[in-house]
Amino acid sequence: MPDDATRTTGPLRPVEIATAAVMAALAVVLTVVGWFLPHLTIVAAFAVVPLGVVAHHHRLRALLAAMFAASVLSFLVAGTGTVTNVVECAAVGGLVGVAKRRGWGLGVVAAGVAVIGPVLAAVSVGLLAVFAALRKLTLAQFRNTWKGVRRILAGVPGTAGLVHHADRFVATALRDWWATVAIVVIAATAWFAILGWVFIGAVLDRLRWIRPQDRLELDSDPRPPGPLPVALHDVRYRYPGADSDALGPVSLAVQPGEMVALVGDNGSGKSTLARVLAGRPPTAGKVTRPGSAGLGRRGGTALVMQHPETQVLGVRVADDVVWGLPAGAEVDVAALLDAVGLAGMGGRETSGLSGGELQRLAVAAALARDPRLLISDESTAMVDEEGRRELTALLRSLPGRRGMAVVHVTHRAEEAAVADHRYRLAAGRLVPDADPAISNGSAPDGAPVAPAGRPAPLELEGVSHTYGLGTPWEQPALRGVDLVVEPREGVLVVGGNGSGKSTLAWIMAGLLRPTFGECRLGDRPVRQQVGAVGLAFQHARLQLQRATVGRDLRAAGAPDDAAAAAALAAVGLPASEFAERRVDSLSGGEQRRVALAGLLARRPSVLVLDEPLAGLDRPARDALVDLLAGLRFRHGLTVVVISHDLAGMGKVCDRVVRLHEGRVVSDSAREGAPL
Amino acid sequence: MNLLREVKVDSPVHRLWAGTKLLVVVGLSVTLSYFPSWGAIGLATALLAAATLVGRIPPGAWPRPPRWFWVVLVVTGGLASVAGGSPHVKVAGVVLGLGGLDDYCRFVAVGVLLLLAAAVLGWTTPIGEIAPALSRLMWPLRLVRLPVDEAATAVALSVRSLPLLVGEMRTLIAARRLRPAPARPGRSEVERWLDEIVDLMVAAIAVSIRRAGELSEAITARGGLGRIAARVRGPGAADVAVMVGTAALCYAATLFPT
């Protein structure tokens, strides 16, 4: 249910502008696809849906921002024609979105169309009246095409009557062009409205409990920033609508000039504690500070978060460092980049940086505000080993260099080892430093999901792939990879940023055709048997494409409910509990498992996993590794894991292949050295 | 789709302010739309050809239209030529009416030139410079108290999200390809097809909402909205020269009969 915040006036809040921007980008993608691919023209009409979602969750000002951004972007990509589609979709999407929010019925929407349609028609006719020469040229095209068709049909017997009628119709339509345009625009508006009503309604219904959420809040404390020294006294926190406290009671203190580590598994409350330290008022207990927490303000608190990609707001490194600073605030960008080890990279584009570099850039942006307290909320979770080391060293150096305090939240004990003070959290409380092993998900069991068909080796022969071959954006990803994966092998493909490992995964699954060479499963190319090699993407939600787990497994290829249950059992999720669950109610780890089950439903002989352990804590990782080992040894699958990390896959993979800049630089099978 | 991607070379066109290029594109678009005469088309072609050459855009950057595009082009052109109309031309004893073909060629030329203008802008401008330039160009709107900075920030954030979204759509489609074609149980074909579209849309929007949440947290962690660019550029001498030259060219284009 939308909250009362939608009725505030004034500038857009971060969650509003973020939703507007992301949905605008989605609308642009849909519009441009529909524009350039005529057989997919209807896709452009689906731009109603994201814009409708904006209108549903937020106020009109956000929709206007989305419409503006989408118009500018689509104009730059594909010209004025797409802008008309965007404006039309924004108008109709806005109408339907607001109607859904207020509970209006189809009748009100029809009335809205009766108003919007003529307005848009009037604007179109007005523009065509002003640009008279172009209008006449366009009308001439219709007239000439018809005349050409008529000339050709003149030779065909029996069509004289039809041609005569059609001729009069075309002549009238072109002479009274304003009426024709008005009718077309109003009809299009009605058509978009129907489409919008059906699809926006369906989408909103399914995503009822997911709404754009900002789990942080802008600091409303009027005192000037003064976050340190901070002391928490018996602090508790309970999320709105929850049955029990996520955190508490917790008492601790942070002094300037020290590094504090908060260790714990997922769900232990460490993120909640980080948010409380960043300024979120607790539901019970007291937090004492000399001033306000000042999140994002000069001399206050800075927060570096888990996901490297979405934390970056600027397209270029230098722009990202200053992003969000008050207008007129000057910082020494070069010095900041130097301090985090990104010296001289100010002009680089952020899309080319590795995860570790992006996180260091986030630290630089945080340091631009000269904070007294820097909180790193699992900033090392999605970063490879080398990046983690550099990032931890950087965090360690900050208190000494700048007299600030650093709170580092992590689930890795080795990162906590460098801190001055360590606190371990479990189930929302501080516990002594013993290691409680909590298992996440039960062990896999059940009947094996053996691969269909005879086991065959996966061969890559001379595979090279270059993106954008022949264009100025040519980017070689793989150069001459020769690899043979035998049945039932467990291979770990390791490589850093830009090594080509994701490209390799797509080629192995048959989703990408290499520019040279071939990938074969058995004797046929994989491209002709898409689905025989399962590929688990890093972003599991994109692989779950139906409303409930059961329907998703059926759509993924399970021939009946028994097969779906077997696939679920193979990933350690009991079918009785999970078959009817909605996919959006699953946790991240559960979504990953259901995605795996979906792949297993097709009984593949090879399973390729792209970064399966990213972002998981120790118990979840152990459980997943056990699961993969079971798939390999009990069920006889070939498992290929693509990762930037060596650690942790010893149980599953006994062969390590290293990729560097698109080439295989080492292969433990060839050298005879086990992992 | 290689539009709105910068070709990374250095050239005088690349060094121009993004706002200048935006104004040139808009100016050319308006002029061509208002005066689609052969003279105007010729001048616009000359301008864009010069921009492409001076901007050192390699031929590989040009989009390669698929085969059906050329087929449609030829077929409609053929129909238009058969239509006849003035001017008439005598060829080997036969009078041909070239009016239809003339209109058609002008129509296609205007369309292509409009697309080309936007493409040259995309090829020669780092994409992060567009939102700040837009913010500067819209300064008159500040006088009427419109939220110019907010609009420019929305554009900047959209630009930032675009590559992430394209990647997600690709993954979504790839994940769909890994699945078998839908089986045929009792429901009607149309219903199943609708279901599938809704499911794909839900997946896309669920992921986008999550991205929006993360983006908004990143903004809040930085204390809200504010600056979007490190170096605030403005027009220089070269920019003024280009703007004046384009204005002159547009004026000259209006002098040709339509």
Alpha helices (H) along A40-131? 42-45, 48-57, 60-78, 80-102, 106-130
Q: How many CB atoms lie within 10 A of CB A176?
A: 12
Q: Is residue A97 part of a domain?
A: yes
* Cα–Cα dist A178/A196, whole Å: 26
Report chain A's mean pLDDT, rounded to a whole number. 87
Q: Is B107 on the interface with A (CB under 8 A)?
A: yes
Q: Which residues of B touch A20 (CB under 8 A)?
A: 154
What share of chain A in percent tops pLDDT 90? 38
List A residues 398-457 in contact with B (Cβ-Cβ < 8 A): none
One domain for residues A154 and A245: no
Which value does ipTM take for this structure? 0.93
List A residues 616-675 in contact with B (Cβ-Cβ < 8 A): none
SS3 B25: helix
Residue A47 near residue A85 (C-beta atoms within 8 A): yes
Tens digits of per-residue pLDDT, A527-570? Answer: 998 888 999 998 888 888 888 888 888 888 888 888 888 888 88
At A29, list the tokens: 């993608």
One domain for residues B104 and B208: no
Q: Is residue A345 part of a domain?
A: yes
Q: Is residue B132 part of a domain?
A: no
Query: Domain containing A45 — which CATH number?
Result: 1.10.1760
Least Cα separation, residue B166 to chain A (angstroms)? 7
One domain for residues B27 and B66: yes
Q: Which residues of A317-345 are buried (b: 16+ CB within 10 A; e: fewer)?
A: bbbbbbbbbeeeeebebeebbebbbbeeb
Parallel, antiparallel or unpaired: strands A606-610 and A638-643: parallel
Quote the number of domains for chain A: 3
pLDDT at position A309, please?
86
Task: Specify the amino acid at residue A673.
Answer: A
Q: Is residue A442 part of a domain?
A: no
**Which of the two residues, B130 and A7, has the higher pLDDT score?**
B130
Q: Do B100 and A134 touch (CB under 8 A)?
A: no
- Phi, psi (degrees; rounded to nearest 5) at B152: -65, -40
One domain for residues A404 and A552: no
CA dihedral of A490, A492, A493, A497, whole degrees rounded to 10: 150
Tens digits of per-residue pLDDT, B17-59? Answer: 999 999 999 999 999 988 888 999 999 999 999 999 999 999 8
One domain for residues B165 and B242: no
Per-residue DSSP letter, A263: E
* Cα–Cα dist A286/A121, whole Å: 60
Mutation test of the interface with chain B: which of A323, A379, A608, choosing the one with the most B Cβ atoms within 10 A?
A323
Which one of B127, B221, B227 has the shortest CB-CB distance to A216?
B221
Q: Is A135 on the interface with B (CB under 8 A)?
A: no
- Phi, psi (degrees; rounded to nearest 5) at A16: -70, -45
Instruction: Give which of A638, A575, A561 is closest to A607, Cα–Cα.
Output: A638
Q: Do A80 and B114 touch (CB under 8 A)?
A: yes
Residue A593 near residue A571 (C-beta atoms within 8 A): yes
Mean pLDDT, to the nearest integer, of A403-410?
92
Q: Is residue B190 part of a domain?
A: yes
Tens digits of per-residue pLDDT, A436-470? Answer: 444 444 455 555 667 777 788 999 999 999 998 88
One domain for residues A465 and A425: no
Task: State the burial class of residue B234 (Cβ atoms within 10 Å of its Cβ: 0-12, 13-18, 19+).
Answer: exposed
Mean pLDDT, to the nearest integer, of A54-66?
94
Which one of A79, A307, A535 has the shortest CB-CB distance to B178?
A535
At A282, list the tokens: 């607790």
Q: How many CB atoms lie within 10 A of CB B185?
A: 7
pLDDT at position A216, please?
73
Q: Is residue B78 part of a domain?
A: yes
Residue B114, C-beta contacts closer than 8 angstroms, at least 6 positions apart: A79, A80, B28, B29, B32, B33
Residue B2 pLDDT greater than 70, yes or no? no
* Cα–Cα dist B135/A36, whole Å: 29
Mutation test of the interface with chain A: which of B26, B102, B193, B199, choosing the one with the most A Cβ atoms within 10 A?
B199
Tens digits of per-residue pLDDT, A251-280? Answer: 999 999 999 999 988 778 888 899 889 888
One domain for residues A426 and A489: no
Helix (H) or strand (E) holding A521: strand A516-521
One domain for residues B120 and B204: no
One domain for residues A202 and A237: no
Task: State the burial class of residue A18 (Cβ atoms within 10 Å of its Cβ: 0-12, 13-18, 19+).
Answer: buried
pLDDT at position A61, please?
94
CA dihedral of A51, A56, A58, A61, whole degrees rounded to 10: 50
Quote the number of domains for chain B: 2
Q: Is residue A369 part of a domain?
A: yes
Identity of the highest mean pLDDT range in A114-128, A256-270, B161-175, B182-196: A114-128
What share of chain A in percent tops pLDDT 70? 94
Tens digits of per-residue pLDDT, A104-131? Answer: 888 999 999 999 999 999 999 999 999 8
Q: Is residue B21 part of a domain?
A: yes
Q: Do B174 and A316 touch (CB under 8 A)?
A: no
Residue A368 pLDDT greater than 70, yes or no? yes
pLDDT at position A212, please?
65
Where on the phi/psi map is residue B125: left (φ > 0), alpha (ψ -120 to 50), or beta?
Answer: beta
SS3 A406: strand
Q: Please measure the distance between the N-terminal and C-terminal CA atoms of chain B and give it in whole angstroms.
A: 34
Q: Is residue A38 part of a domain?
A: yes
Tens digits of per-residue pLDDT, A316-367? Answer: 999 999 998 988 788 899 999 999 999 989 888 888 888 899 999 999 999 9
One domain for residues B199 and B250: no
* Cα–Cα dist A317/A302, whole Å: 18
Residue A38 pLDDT greater than 80, yes or no? no
Beta bridge partners of A145: none
One domain for residues B187 and B245: no
One domain for residues B31 and B83: yes
Q: Which residues of B touch A39 (CB under 8 A)?
A: none
Handedness of CA B186, B188, B190, B194 (dihedral sign): negative
Task: Specify the amino acid at residue B241.
Answer: A
Residue A641 pLDDT greater than 90, yes or no? yes
One domain for residues B16 and B121: yes
Residue that finishes a domain, picked among A383, A413, A431: A431
- State the pLDDT confidence band at A675, using cuts at 50, 70 and 90: very low
pLDDT at position A3, please?
43
* Cα–Cα dist A235/A281, whole Å: 9
Q: Which residues of B touch A530 (CB under 8 A)?
A: 177-178
pLDDT at position A444, please?
54
One domain for residues A633 and A593: yes
Q: Do A144 and B83 touch (CB under 8 A)?
A: yes
One domain for residues B115 and B242: yes
* Cα–Cα dist A615/A306, whole Å: 8
Residue B100 near residue A147 (C-beta atoms within 8 A): yes
Residue A289 near residue B205 (C-beta atoms within 8 A): no
One domain for residues B106 and B199: no
* Cα–Cα dist A174/A146, whole Å: 11
SS3 A639: strand
Instruction: Give which of A35, A10, A176, A623 is closest to B111, Cα–Cα.
Output: A35
Q: Is the peptide bond before A229 cis (omega within 30 degrees of 0)?
A: yes
Beta bridge partners of A663: A660
Residue A81 near residue B110 (C-beta atoms within 8 A): no
User: How many A/B residue pairs have CB atoms within 8 Å?
Assistant: 381
**Where in the sequence is the domain holding A253, given as residue range(s)?**
230-431
Query: Domain containing A358 — which CATH number?
Result: 3.40.50.300
One domain for residues A303 and A368: yes
Q: Is A127 on the interface with B (CB under 8 A)?
A: no
Q: Which residue, chain included where needed, has tokens 């508006």?
A: A189
One domain for residues B159 and B66: no
At A104, list the tokens: 């209006």
Residue A323 near residue A313 (C-beta atoms within 8 A): yes
Q: Is residue A594 part of a domain?
A: yes
**Where in the sequence is the domain holding B32, given as residue range(s)?**
12-125+233-254
